[in-house]
Amino acid sequence: MNLKFLNTTIRHTLVVMAVGGLFVFSGCSDDDEPAPTKTIYELVSEDTNLSILKSQLDVGGFDATLNAAGTYTLFAPSNAAMNTLLQTLGLTDFSSISPGVVASVLSYHVLASQKLSGDLTAGDFATNQGESLTIAVTSTGEKKIESGATTDANITTADLKATNGVIHVVDAVLVPPTIGALIIQTLGTVAQPVLLSSSFTTLSAAIQKADAGKPAEQTIVGALVGLDDVTIFAPVNDVFAAASITVATYSAAEWDAIIRGHIVPASLATLSNGDVTTVNGKTITVATGTPNTVKGAGNSTPVAIVAAGVPANNGVLYPIGGVLLHP
């Protein structure tokens, strides 16, 4: 046998095997991951650290969206982040917050595209809510999410991949700037439950219509926030629903007059019999009993106070079962 030919053949075979091995190993790199098998909603559902978020996604109808085909990014606030927001608002759960506010906040956590952590460069990202959140990158490479909240959010767990996108767990609830400004302005005042509570969504919308385009000092919100001592007798949603009254029923000027006829520039933490004067000079007659009642000069019968007063730093809110009418 020709030994030179044999050695050449062996060397050639070894080279082919080595090159082939490189292709094999490059096709099975350590960076490869199994393809995700669960949707964003399914991943949230099985994570006990996201149980509060999961419950709110269910209530708001986001479970269907985040369980469907598509491509999304979800910034998922942890339970600790959700509880911190409740403590800030002075609440024990989210059921008392207006569904519209909750839906707006939740949709602000969703992007309509997949953004892995490497894609989250410094800049603005449009959310499904319509307003943008801002990613800031620190000198050490940490990424912070700026929104309408008073504190930035940090990504504590990144790149949880799903069949329809990716989840980044964050340590603070992201708040749309418009809602954040409203919360900051009204925090602790009688305006807060009026504007954020699920019991007063019609009244809240009416106030926003009445206030639109006005300087802050001329608005109803400005009065509810700016007065050191204030009481508002606030009609609950059922009052307007029973009378088929919507925000469109009255003009902005009419709503302004109606609502100011429910606001007294004094803190009536303890009710007593007698007349009180509203911020627009109308008279409300208070009568104690079971239940306590209030009455405008245009009401044929007294209006019941339907729940205990809600105290605030600058006064008190009383839910009432009717609209106070004034000539």
Task: CATH number of the domain at 264, please.
Answer: 2.30.180.10
- Last residue of a domain, which of 177, 205, 237? 177
Non-local (6+) Cβ contacts of 169 within 8 A are: 49, 50, 76, 77, 78, 155, 156, 157, 158, 160
- Please report whether residue 204 resides in a domain: yes
Same domain as 121, residue 74? yes
The verdict on residue 306 lying in a domain is yes
Domain boundary among 177, 200, 225: 177
Domain housing 69? 40-177
DSSP 18-87: HHHHHHHHHTT-TT--PPP-S-HHHHHHH-GGGHHHHHHHHHHTHHHHHHSSS-EEEEEE-HHHHHHHHH
Q: Does the predicted TM-score (pTM) go above 0.85? A: no
Whether 20 has a pLDDT exceeding 60, the answer reads: no
In order of 62, 95, 255, the CA distances from 102 in angstroms are: 11, 9, 25
> Both 126 and 197 in a single domain?
no
What is the predicted pLDDT for the residue at 31? 59
Q: Would the pLDDT of 210 be above 80?
A: yes
Residue 26 belongs to some domain of the structure? no
β-pairing, 230-235 vs 165-170, is: unpaired
Q: Is the peptide bond before 176 cis (omega within 30 degrees of 0)?
A: no
Residue 25 lies in a domain: no
Average pLDDT over residues 264-285: 97
Asked if residue 15 has pLDDT above 50, the reply is no
pLDDT at 58: 95
Region 57-80: mean pLDDT is: 95
Question: Of 176, 184, 166, 259, which is closest to residue 219 (Cα–Cα)?
Answer: 259
259 vs 230: CA distance, rounded Å: 13
User: So what's the pLDDT on residue 17?
Assistant: 41
Q: What is the pLDDT of residues 116-131, one digit of tens each?
A: 999 999 999 999 999 9
Q: What is the pLDDT of residues 128-158, one digit of tens each?
A: 999 999 999 988 888 999 998 888 999 999 9
Q: How many domains does the chain have?
A: 2
Angstrom distance (rounded) from CA 115 to CA 127: 12
For residues 179 and 157, give the distance between their C-alpha atoms in angstroms, rounded to a whole number. 26
Cβ proximity of 63 and 41 under 8 Å: yes
Residue 191: its pLDDT value, please?
96
Residues 264 and 213 both lie in one domain: yes
Of 135, 154, 177, which one is at a domain's C-terminal end? 177
Residues contacting 266, CB < 8 A, separation 6+: 229, 230, 231, 276, 315
- Over residues 225-254, the pLDDT tens digits come to 999 999 999 999 999 999 999 999 999 999
Structural domain includes residue 130: yes
Looking at the structure, tell me whether residues 93 and 201 fall in a common domain.
Answer: no
One domain, residues 106 and 194:
no
- Same domain for 127 and 223, yes or no, is no
200 and 316 in one domain? Answer: yes
Whether 301 contacts 288, CB under 8 Å: no
